[in-house]
Amino acid sequence: MFEALTERFSTALKSLRSKGRLTSADIDEIASEIEDALIAADVAVEVAREFSVRIKENATALLDEVATSTNPAQRVQEVINQELIATLSGDGSRFSFAKRGPTVVLLAGLQGAGKTSFAGKLARHFKSSGNTPLLVACDLQRPNAVNQLQIVGEQAGVPVFAPEPGNGVGDPVAVARKALEFANAKVHNMVIIDTAGRLGVDSEMMAQAAAIRDVTSPNEILFVIDAMTGQDAARTARSFQEGVGITAVALTKLDGDARGGAALSVARVTGKPIRYASTGEKVTDFDLFHPDRMASRILGSGDIATLAESAKRAFDSETAKRLEDKFSSGDDFTLADFLEQLKAMRKMGSMSKLLGMLPGAQTGAMKKQLESLDDNELIRTQSIIDSMTPKEREDVKILNGSRRARIARGSGRSVKEVNDLVDRFTAAQKVMKQMRSGSTPQVPGLPVIPGSTRPKVQPTKKKSRSGNPAKRALEDRG
Ligand SMILES: Nc1nc2c(ncn2[C@@H]2O[C@H](COP(=O)(O)OP(=O)(O)O)[C@@H](O)[C@H]2O)c(=O)[nH]1
Ligand SMILES: [Mg+2]
């Protein structure tokens, strides 16, 4: 998401950087470039215009300072950064828990926005921090909706309150009321209510959501919206704001190729914070939304905070410490260690998503590399190492032809792939040794990926290819 925006912002800021002194004409130019970029990213036209006007005003106010600053582009970038954060943060409110009784969260949004899936994600999120949520099925419009919530609840490990089938209970307002009584009796400290949506804004649907709101007095009303909504986002958000009143926004389908405009439009139009992000269909595809991190990403500065957090989650401290000790003790880095890193990396999520958080990842050469990055390569590499014996993992030198053939058979990969992995790994091992002796700078915290043909620790120098075709074939084979 936001890649196109990042690219255009970066280009605009780069052209500012090449200027020694900034004039008001330069500010006008960047403000108008920002407006165009926002509209191209699907930000509502009125929101984009307003945004650019504020950039212009704030940057112009700084003009005297900006003009003499040693790094005027940097100052303008800060102005944009502040504005992005302010917009995405809305009123800056935090999740509010009930002082007494269960905390009630009402989900509202159009059909297909991702409410039911998100209900499960949110329930799982709060459960993991020690809460005892109850999911409530108030979408009684579609025959399958209750069933869907039950599946989601099972995945989240959270109970679902639903009307008894065939009991003639077709009134979502009555279900919501009963669910609250049930939650009180069974000491659930949180109630998450899934509601029905329509394909478009519809007064009957809105009245129903409002009626559920009135009997449950929610602490939070979350507006769930598909990030791919585009120009309609602002209008839809405004309708829900007027119809039910929302306290925060959950943005879904961020794994798709949305241009990201909905985030800025919805936050601006409602004045409410984007607080959650849904990034896939699985119940674990959930993130808290951090406006400052998102702003940093949009401006091409990456998202190191999230990257560090995922690394911390994936590498339990024991593994991290063992690998670190091993590294500093001078022991050889082995395929067994590498396998451990691979598994941890796969826990962190897709490689392209991870590397995409690095500064500059969404522009220029690195972007191209990321696009060609194949996450399956990690899986293939792991399957090869998995087929090795512990002894082979400790010492690749014992891998003769017959062992390699056996590993290839066992992993379902070709002998060439096994050879490639061993070669790359041996090269990486060498680099690690050099790093230890302090001759090559290292990237802290980033695991080595000998199995990958793309972003990786570069072998010291690419061997020049032999002019002799037979020799060259041998080189290719390794
Ligand atoms: N790729 C992707 N699909 C999602 C995401 N959230 C929901 N979906 C899918 O979108 C469809 C509609 O979701 P659902 O929760 O039923 O939406 P609702 O009608 O608002 O309850 C389902 O197929 C979901 O699996 C997401 O973050 N990413
Ligand atoms: Mg639903």
Q: Compute the distance between CA of residue 98 and CA of residue 309 in angstroms, rounded to an integer.
A: 29
| Residues measured by CB to lie within 5 Å of ligand 2, the ion | 115-116
* CATH 3.40.50.1700 is the classification of domain 103-303: no
Classify domain 306-472 by CATH number: 1.10.260.30
* Nearest ligand 1 atom to alpha carbon 256: 1
- The ranges of the chain annotated as CATH 1.20.120.140 are 3-89
All CATH 3.40.50.300 domain ranges in the chain, comma separated: 103-303
What pTM did the predictor assign?
0.73
Dmax of the chain from CA atoms? 82
CA–centroid distance, residue 383 to ligand 1 (Å): 32
Contact 24, 384 (CB under 8 A): no
Output the DSSP codes for 36-82.
Answer: HHHHHTT--HHHHHHHHHHHHHHHHHTHHHHHHSS-HHHHHHHHHHH
Per-residue pLDDT of the chain (478 residues; tens, 9 = 90+): 777 788 888 888 888 888 777 888 988 999 999 999 999 888 999 999 999 999 999 988 887 765 566 677 888 888 999 999 999 999 999 999 999 889 999 999 999 999 999 999 999 999 999 999 999 999 988 778 899 999 999 999 999 998 876 555 578 999 999 999 999 998 899 999 999 887 777 888 899 999 999 999 999 999 999 998 888 999 999 999 999 999 999 999 988 777 778 999 999 999 999 999 999 999 999 999 999 988 888 887 777 777 777 777 666 667 777 777 776 776 777 888 888 877 777 777 776 777 777 776 666 666 666 666 666 777 888 899 999 999 999 888 999 999 999 999 999 999 999 999 998 888 877 777 776 666 544 444 444 444 333 333 344 443 444 444 444 444 444 3
> What DSSP character marks residue 227?
G
Q: Is the CB of 252 under 6 A from ligand 1?
A: yes
- Closest protein CA for atom 10 of ligand 1: 114
DSSP strand pairing (133-138 vs 190-195): parallel
User: What is the secondary structure of 444-472 as a DSSP string?
Assistant: TTPPP-TT-SSSSPPPSSPPPPPSSHHHH
Q: Among 105, 96, 124, which residue's Cα sits nearest to residue 176?
A: 105
Q: Which residues pair with 249 in a beta bridge?
A: 223, 274
φ, ψ (nearest 5 deg) of residue 460: -45, -45
| One-letter identity of residue 384 | I
Could you tell me which of 363, 350, 344 has the C-alpha nearest to residue 448? 344
**Looking at ligand 1, which residue's alpha carbon is closest to its atom 1?**
280
Residue 280 CA, closest ligand 1 atom number: 28
CA atoms of 249 and 286, how far apart (whole Å): 14
Expressed in angstroms and rounded, the spacing between residue 159 Cα and the centre of ligand 1 is 20
Q: What is the CATH number of domain 3-89?
A: 1.20.120.140
